[in-house]
């Protein structure tokens, strides 16, 4: 099909939108409410172009034969600018243009708008009560992207539009505070928001305060998914592994010890694989669901009380490591656990909620997202890319490739299968890679024979897909669910933008990390072997159970 | 009046004997255009739905008569509901729908009881298994827009969405749906059965500074003078408003009520609503009142209508109170054009027509307010 785009004849495929054709031809059309992989709602009216003299939203107008499309006529520019001014008028007073993530301000700058002809009028209350996700509705431009993310990828709809006209706003249902709702704190809304109206609760100040306090022994741990994404905050290409520089940066920030959450992940796998084998042997509730994703846990606690007995009782990796730091490590070093502050760098906003759970006590004191960690590094003027690579500190710095996999969807399953198979059968796996659980398909499944039992496993990522898998959960023995699409590398605390293209690069990096390590099975982690011998006792034993396992509560809808 | 004639199910029987294509071509031949405001040929709309393959199809009768100054649909529902219901049945039968909805505005809920009775009676008499349900709106003006009606009946937030897909292809619950106005559907049986049915006879809702406001049936092409005379104005009339969304024209006695001509003045005849404004009224005040209406009724989905309608109201209030200057009028005009050109739905696009036409025809009244400053 042929169309005319800014005077040039362009051949294009049927069924594409004007915006897609423009992107294919490197023609800039600014957008705000449009986001990849979602049905365009054509709300913001920023992407309007002139089609045969009439203004049409390019995001949702499909091309037709002989269309005459102009993207930069006077009419287009004038209309776009006016609509931007209308958005900015109320947004501006509460906006601090300090980041490049801010799409609205970037477009306003590109359009050369210097003067807003309207006075700010609206005044909304902020919702900063939550430990994980906070909202400033004054910045909101009603683009609806967070609502789409919450509804269409996560199937939660904790937030939606209420009221109408200029009084319409995005709000949790019944205008509750977000932390009093069934929001699962996954933070996908944060990744969607073009104006930072919805962000994580900032804990950087508290961490800075503790770092400056000589009486405190401040320990930091970094999640498996961070090393594959942190580099993006400093201009590295998506998929760059920055493990060594990340450790160096943490040390430069003044943390007393830099430990690896991957060791906690190995520990989780050992306990979880053991629990799975136990459940199969003892006819305990099957399937067993993984429990390392706090968003998924919160979902079950709100929506599926019937599945609570199916959740693995293992704490998540950073909580396990937190416990080890405040018990084993404190004991060994002779430090009073009360003087230890554990900070976890997580790709996740729900971890902030998790760390505040009563039953988990003070195992972890603060959780910072990848973005907050980058902010700390920038605040300290550390030239991240010039840092010399460093190793994690002893004794909690050694981990295996299996733990590295935790960052990608299917990774926990693969790591658990490696250990479950080998510990239960006593045989070695010929091939460590479980291709059935790799990749970004919505739902993955497969099976493996362990001691003549066919163990069926399923993997889902993104709550919408998870809900689909839950329709037939009884078909499986073991299910991994990650609330965020792509797994933790697509977590709500990750650098913005987090698109599928970027997520796939990060996943690639994670599989490369695993493949490059000599130790690739959790149960072969030498440090953990020693810790079990010296401190924890038996796998799944009384002490291990007391320290490393937890319980869940039924929450209201 | 033509609209009060009854077919007594004769048209239903006749249409049932005919092939759907024949019914459609008959309606097209007779020249039945949509009476909701867009004047889209009813037969053509039905044809789209007829040609859309689907296991289920729906008919929606739009009785959400929300345009201020319009009350012709109410008149039909009160005075000739039998013919309306018959029209709905014919529409269902023609496109192959088994289920129809009458989307009745909440303010007309007192008509629901009688209408339900008539529906039962006619369905029984027509001996059909077609189901007609009445759905009450919640009072939002936007829910007269066809895609918003669909959302509202589905139980979702009553907001329009971007077309295509058009309802005739993918409408209510994702199924092909035709949405016709009450007056259109009530005319269907008459157009089918009456040889002398006149497509040009329209119901005019007259109101404003008139002694005898009400519904008057007149042919298109009647002069403004003749039409307004029916309403018996007491003072000399200055302007005519075609509802709130249709814009205004100066009262020129010789002008004829003809959709194309009205369009050429920058207005829209729409559903034949005429609000007469006499010389004692200030156009700026009227425009401000209408702007308040649109500010209140904007659904809030798209930027220009949501933010713009509020800005327009404050600009107009500023002008009205005499605090504005000429730059404000320029900004007002620019904003009106942006809202007209870039809003998502018909409501937003037409919400500033009354201001743009007032600025065109009565600009001196605005400028005078500014000169006071």
> CA geometry: angle at B342 spanning A140 and B353, to 5°?
115
Fold of A204-548: Rossmann fold (3.40.50)
Give the residue from B66, B147, B307, B310 with the most A CB atoms within 10 Å of its CB, the best one to mutate: B307
Q: Which of B164, B295, B308 sits opposite A86 (nearest CB)?
A: B308
Token pair of A328 as six digits:
């084993």
Of the candidates A234, A238, A143, A239, the one whose C-alpha atom is nearest the C-alpha of residue A189 is A143
Q: Which residues span the domain enclosing B82?
A: 2-193
The mean pLDDT value for A34-50 works out to 93
Summarize pLDDT for B263-307 with one digit per residue, the tens.
999 999 988 999 999 999 999 999 999 999 999 999 999 999 999
Identify the contact set of chain B against chain A, taking CB-CB distances under 8 A: 140, 142, 157, 161-162, 164, 295-304, 306-311, 314, 331, 334-335, 338, 341-344
Decide: B191 and B210 in contact? Cβ < 8 Å. no
**Residue B36: strand, helix, or coil:** coil
Residue B247 has pLDDT above 90, yes or no: yes
CB pairs A-B closer than 8 Å: 89
Q: Within an 8 Å CB–CB cutoff, is residue A147 touching chain B?
A: no
Dist CA A538 CA A533 (whole Å): 8
Dihedrals φ, ψ of A440, to 5°?
A: -110, 20
- If asked whether residues B213 and B362 sit together in one domain, one would say no
- If asked whether residues B241 and B327 sit together in one domain, one would say no
pLDDT for residue A97: 60
C-beta neighbour count of B199 within 10 angstroms = 14
Q: What is the DSSP string of B55-100?
A: S--EEEEEE---STT--HHHHHHHH-HHHHHHHHHHHHHHHT-SEE
**Residue A103 is a catalytic residue:** no
Q: Tell me if A165 and B338 make a contact (CB, 8 A cut-off).
A: no
In sequence order, which ranges of A493-533 are alpha helices (DSSP H)? Answer: 500-515, 526-531
Dist CA A535 CA A529 (whole Å): 10
CATH of the domain at B300: 1.20.1440.230
In B, which residues are within 8 Å of A166 by CB distance?
A: 295, 298, 300, 306-307, 309-310
Q: Tell me if A142 and B300 make a contact (CB, 8 A cut-off).
A: yes
C-beta neighbour count of A110 within 10 angstroms = 11
- If asked whether residues B85 and B213 sit together in one domain, one would say no
Residue A499 has pLDDT above 80, yes or no: yes
How many domains does chain B fold into?
Answer: 3
Q: Within an 8 Å CB–CB cutoff, is residue A168 touching chain B?
A: yes
Q: Within an 8 Å CB–CB cutoff, is residue A48 touching chain B?
A: yes
- If asked whether residues B270 and B304 sit together in one domain, one would say no
- If asked whether residues B247 and B216 sit together in one domain, one would say yes
- If asked whether residues B245 and B157 sit together in one domain, one would say no
Residue B172 has pLDDT above 80, yes or no: yes
Of the candidates A341, A339, A336, the one whose C-alpha atom is nearest the C-alpha of residue A365 is A341
pLDDT for residue A100: 57
**Residue A312 is a catalytic residue:** yes
Residue A98 has pLDDT above 60, yes or no: no
**Residue A193 is a catalytic residue:** no
**Residue A319 is a catalytic residue:** no
**Residue B5: strand, helix, or coil:** coil
Domain boundary among B259, B278, B297: B278
What is the value of ipTM here, to two decimals?
0.92
Q: Tell me if A166 and B342 make a contact (CB, 8 A cut-off).
A: no
Decide: A163 and B327 in contact? Cβ < 8 Å. no
Strand partners, B218: B202
Determine the distance in angstroms separating the CA of B218 from the nearest CA of chain A, rounded to an integer.
35
Dist CA A220 CA A322 (whole Å): 10
pLDDT for residue B163: 86
Summarize pLDDT for B297-346 with one digit per residue, the tens.
999 999 999 999 999 999 999 999 989 999 999 999 999 999 999 999 99
The mean pLDDT value for A408-413 works out to 95
Determine the distance in angstroms separating the CA of A371 from the nearest CA of chain B, rounded to an integer.
30
Strand order of the β-sheet with A340-346 is: A257-260, A217-222, A340-346, A366-369
Decide: B268 and B240 in contact? Cβ < 8 Å. no
Fold of A133-200: Alpha-Beta Plaits (3.30.70)
Q: Which of A42, A163, A166 sits opposite B344 (nearest CB)?
A: A42
- How does residue A102 score in pLDDT terms, banded at 50, 70 and 90? confident
Of the candidates B308, B301, B310, B253, the one whose C-alpha atom is nearest the C-alpha of residue B276 is B253
- How does residue B372 score in pLDDT terms, banded at 50, 70 and 90? low
Q: Which of B157, B161, B300 sits opposite A166 (nearest CB)?
A: B300
In A, which residues are within 8 Å of B301 by CB distance?
A: 41, 43, 168
Decide: residue A101, CB within 10 A, 0-12 exposed, 13-18 middle, 19+ buried: middle
Dist CA A461 CA A408 (whole Å): 9
Q: Within an 8 Å CB–CB cutoff, is residue A79 touching chain B?
A: yes
- How does residue B369 score in pLDDT terms, banded at 50, 70 and 90? confident
Q: Tell me if B342 and A78 make a contact (CB, 8 A cut-off).
A: no
Q: Which of A42, A118, A166 sits opposite B162 (nearest CB)?
A: A42
Determine the distance in angstroms separating the CA of A97 from the nearest CA of chain B, rounded to an integer.
22
Average pLDDT, chain B: 93
**Residue A524 is a catalytic residue:** no
Largest CA distance in chain B: 71
Q: Tell me if B304 and A83 make a contact (CB, 8 A cut-off).
A: yes
The mean pLDDT value for B166-191 works out to 95
Dihedrals φ, ψ of A220, to 5°?
A: -115, 145
Catalytic residue among A272, A319, A372, A480: A272
Residues whose CB falls within 8 Å of the CB of residue A6, separated by 6 or more in sequence, listed in order = A27, A69, A70, A71, A72
Percent of chain B with pLDDT over 90: 90
Q: Tell me if B307 and A82 make a contact (CB, 8 A cut-off).
A: no
- If asked whether residues B139 and B9 sit together in one domain, one would say yes
Q: Tell me if B338 and A79 make a contact (CB, 8 A cut-off).
A: yes
Q: What is the DSSP string of A380-438?
A: TT--GGGPPP-PPPSSS----HHHHGGGSTTHHHHHHHHHHHHHHH-PPPS----GGG-
Note if the bond before A497 is cis, omega within 30 degrees.
yes
- If asked whether residues B363 and B243 sit together in one domain, one would say no
Domain boundary among B169, B193, B217: B193
Give the residue from B338, B340, B344 with the most A CB atoms within 10 Å of its CB, the best one to mutate: B338
**Residue A203: strand, helix, or coil:** coil
Of the candidates B123, B72, B87, the one whose C-alpha atom is nearest the C-alpha of residue B7 is B87
Dist CA A471 CA A455 (whole Å): 19
Strand partners, A329: none
- How does residue B371 score in pLDDT terms, banded at 50, 70 and 90? confident
pLDDT for residue A525: 94
Burial B36-60, CB ≥16 within 10 A → b, else e: bbebeebbebbbebbebebeebbbb
- If asked whether residues B230 and B319 sit together in one domain, one would say no
Minimal Cα distance from B301: which residue of A?
A43
Dist CA A458 CA A29 (whole Å): 41
Dist CA A43 CA B54 (whole Å): 30
In A, which residues are within 8 Å of B349 by CB distance?
A: none
**Residue B253: strand, helix, or coil:** coil
Domain boundary among B193, B211, B234: B193
In chain A, CATH 3.30.70.20 sits at 133-200
Decide: B282 and B238 in contact? Cβ < 8 Å. no
Note if the bond before B167 is cis, omega within 30 degrees.
no
- If asked whether residues B25 and B161 sit together in one domain, one would say yes
Of the candidates B308, B321, B298, B307, the one whose C-alpha atom is nearest the C-alpha of residue B356 is B308
Q: What is the DSSP string of A306-362?
A: GGGGGB--BPPHHHHHHHHIIIIIHHHHT--GGGEEEEEEES-SHHHHHHT-GGGTT
Dist CA B303 CA B335 (whole Å): 12
In chain A, CATH 3.10.20.740 sits at 1-117
Summarize pLDDT for A271-300 with one digit per residue, the tens.
999 999 999 888 889 999 999 999 999 999
The mean pLDDT value for B124-151 works out to 94
- How does residue A99 score in pLDDT terms, banded at 50, 70 and 90? low
Fold of A1-117: Ubiquitin-like (UB roll) (3.10.20)
Of the candidates A436, A433, A392, A439, the one whose C-alpha atom is nearest the C-alpha of residue A415 is A433
Q: What is the Cα A245 distance to its own chain's centre?
A: 21
**Residue A275 is a catalytic residue:** yes
Catalytic residue among A275, A301, A414, A513: A275
Residue at token pair 């909202």: A135
Of the candidates A149, A146, A38, the one whose C-alpha atom is nearest the C-alpha of residue A484 is A149
- How does residue B38 score in pLDDT terms, banded at 50, 70 and 90? confident
In A, which residues are within 8 Å of B161 by CB distance?
A: 41
Summarize pLDDT for A170-216 with one digit per residue, the tens.
999 999 999 999 999 999 999 999 999 999 999 999 999 999 999 99
The mean pLDDT value for A498-524 works out to 94
Decide: residue A533, CB within 10 A, 0-12 exposed, 13-18 middle, 19+ buried: exposed
Summarize pLDDT for A122-181 with one digit per residue, the tens.
888 899 888 899 999 999 999 999 999 999 999 999 999 999 999 999 999 999 999 999
**Residue A372 is a catalytic residue:** no
Catalytic residue among A488, A503, A513, A521: A488
Catalytic residue among A59, A146, A189, A292: A292
Decide: A345 and A220 in contact? Cβ < 8 Å. yes
- How does residue B254 score in pLDDT terms, banded at 50, 70 and 90? confident
Q: With the C-alpha atoms ordered A68, A72, A74, A77, is the resulting torsion angle positive or negative?
A: positive
**Residue A501 is a catalytic residue:** no
- If asked whether residues B254 and B289 sit together in one domain, one would say no
Give the residue from B152, B310, B329 with the most A CB atoms within 10 Å of its CB, the best one to mutate: B310
Dist CA A552 CA A309 (whole Å): 9
Average pLDDT, chain A: 93
In chain A, CATH 3.40.50.1780 sits at 204-548
Residue at token pair 């520089």: A245
Q: Within an 8 Å CB–CB cutoff, is residue A59 touching chain B?
A: no
Q: Tell me if B298 and A164 make a contact (CB, 8 A cut-off).
A: yes
Give the residue from B311, B315, B337, B351 with the most A CB atoms within 10 Å of its CB, the best one to mutate: B311
Percent of chain A with pLDDT over 90: 87
């Amino acid at each position: 099909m042929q169309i005319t785009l800014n005077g040039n004849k362009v051949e294009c495929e049927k069924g594409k939108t004007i915006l897609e054709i423009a992107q294919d031809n490197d023609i800039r059309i600014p957008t705000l409410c449009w986001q990849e992989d979602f049905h365009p709602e054509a709300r913001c009216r920023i992407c309007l172009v002139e089609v045969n003299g009439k203004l049409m939203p390019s995001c949702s107008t499909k091309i037709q034969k002989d269309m005459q499309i102009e993207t930069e006529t006077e009419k287009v520019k004038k209309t776009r600018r006016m609509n931007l001014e209308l958005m900015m008028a109320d947004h501006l007073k509460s906006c601090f243009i300090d980041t490049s993530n801010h799409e609205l301000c970037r477009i306003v700058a590109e359009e050369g708008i210097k003067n807003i002809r309207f006075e700010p009028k609206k005044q909304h209350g902020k919702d900063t009560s939550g430990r994980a996700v906070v909202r400033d509705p004054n910045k909101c431009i009603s683009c609806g992207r967070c609502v789409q993310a919450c509804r269409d990828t996560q199937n939660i709809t904790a937030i939606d539009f209420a009221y109408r006209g200029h009084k319409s706003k995005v709000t949790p249902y019944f205008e509750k505070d977000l932390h009093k709702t069934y929001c699962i704190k996954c933070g996908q809304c944060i990744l969607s928001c073009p104006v930072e109206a919805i962000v994580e609760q900032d804990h950087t100040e508290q961490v800075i305060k503790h770092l400056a306090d000589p009486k405190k022994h401040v320990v930091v741990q970094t999640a498996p998914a961070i090393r594959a994404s942190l580099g993006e905050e400093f201009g590295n290409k998506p998929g760059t592994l920055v493990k060594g520089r990340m450790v160096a940066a943490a040390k430069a920030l003044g943390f007393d010890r830099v430990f690896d959450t991957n060791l906690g992940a190995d520990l989780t796998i050992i306990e979880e694989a053991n629990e799975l084998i136990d459940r199969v042997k003892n006819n305990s509730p099957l399937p067993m669901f993984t429990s390392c994703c706090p968003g998924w846990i919160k979902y079950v606690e709100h929506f599926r009380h019937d599945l609570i007995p199916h959740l693995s009782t293992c704490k998540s990796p950073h909580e396990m490591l937190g416990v080890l730091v405040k018990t084993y490590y404190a004991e060994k070093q002779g430090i009073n656990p009360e003087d230890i502050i554990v900070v976890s760098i997580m790709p996740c906003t729900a971890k902030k909620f998790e760390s505040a759970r009563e039953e988990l006590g003070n195992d972890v004191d603060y959780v910072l997202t990848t973005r907050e960690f980058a902010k700390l590094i920038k605040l300290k003027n550390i030239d991240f890319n010039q840092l010399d690579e460093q190793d994690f500190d002893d004794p909690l710095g050694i981990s295996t490739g299996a733990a590295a996999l935790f960052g990608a969807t299917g990774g926990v399953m693969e790591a658990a299968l490696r250990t479950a198979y080998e510990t239960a059968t006593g045989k070695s796996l010929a091939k460590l890679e479980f291709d059935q659980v790799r990749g970004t398909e919505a739902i993955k499944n497969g099976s493996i024979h362990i001691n003549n039992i066919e163990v069926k496993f399923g993997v889902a990522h993104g709550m919408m897909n998870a809900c689909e898998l839950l329709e037939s959960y009884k078909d499986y023995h073991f299910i991994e669910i990650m609330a965020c699409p792509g797994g933790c590398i697509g977590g709500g605390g990750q650098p913005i933008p987090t698109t599928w293209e970027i997520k796939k690069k990060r996943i690639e990096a994670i599989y490369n990390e695993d493949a490059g390590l000599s130790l690739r099975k959790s149960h072969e982690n030498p440090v953990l072997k020693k810790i079990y011998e010296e401190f924890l006792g038996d796998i799944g034993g009384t002490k291990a159970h007391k320290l490393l396992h937890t319980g869940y509560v039924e929450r209201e809808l | 009046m033509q609209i009060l004639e009854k077919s007594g199910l004769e048209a239903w029987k006749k249409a049932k004997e005919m092939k759907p294509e024949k019914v459609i071509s008959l309606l097209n031949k007779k020249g039945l255009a949509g009476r909701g405001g867009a004047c889209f040929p009813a037969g053509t709309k039905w044809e789209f739905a007829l040609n859309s393959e689907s296991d289920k199809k729906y008919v929606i009768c739009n009785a959400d008569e929300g345009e201020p100054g319009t009350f012709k649909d109410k008149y039909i529902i009160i005075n000739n509901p039998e013919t309306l219901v018959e029209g709905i049945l014919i529409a269902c039968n023609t496109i192959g729908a088994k289920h129809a909805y009458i989307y009745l505005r909440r303010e007309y809920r007192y008509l629901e009881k009688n209408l339900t009775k008539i529906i039962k009676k006619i369905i029984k008499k027509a001996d059909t298994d077609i189901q007609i349900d009445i759905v009450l709106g919640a009072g939002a003006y936007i829910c007269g827009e066809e895609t918003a009606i669909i959302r509202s009946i589905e139980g979702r937030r009553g907001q329009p969405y971007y077309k295509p897909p058009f309802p005739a292809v993918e409408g209510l619950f994702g199924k092909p749906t035709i949405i016709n106005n009450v007056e259109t559907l009530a005319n269907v049986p008459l157009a089918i059965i009456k040889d002398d049915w006149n497509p040009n006879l329209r119901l005019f809702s007259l109101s404003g500074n008139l002694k005898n406001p009400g519904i008057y049936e007149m042919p298109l092409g009647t002069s403004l003078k003749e039409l307004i005379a029916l309403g018996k104005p007491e003072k000399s009339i200055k302007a005519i408003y075609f509802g709130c969304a249709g814009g205004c024209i100066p009262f020129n006695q010789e002008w004829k009520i003809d959709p194309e001509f009205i369009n050429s003045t920058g207005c829209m005849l729409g559903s034949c609503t005429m609000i007469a404004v006499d010389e004692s009224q200030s156009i700026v005040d009227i425009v401000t009142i209408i702007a308040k209406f649109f500010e209140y009724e904007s659904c809030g989905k798209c930027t220009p209508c949501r933010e713009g309608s509020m800005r327009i109201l404050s600009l107009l209030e500023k002008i009205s109170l005499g605090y504005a200057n000429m730059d404000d009028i320029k900004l007002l005009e620019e904003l009106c054009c942006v809202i007209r050109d870039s809003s998502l739905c018909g409501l937003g696009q037409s919400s500033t027509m009354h201001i743009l036409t007032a600025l065109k025809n009565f600009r001196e009244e605005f400028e005078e307010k500014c000169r006071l400053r």
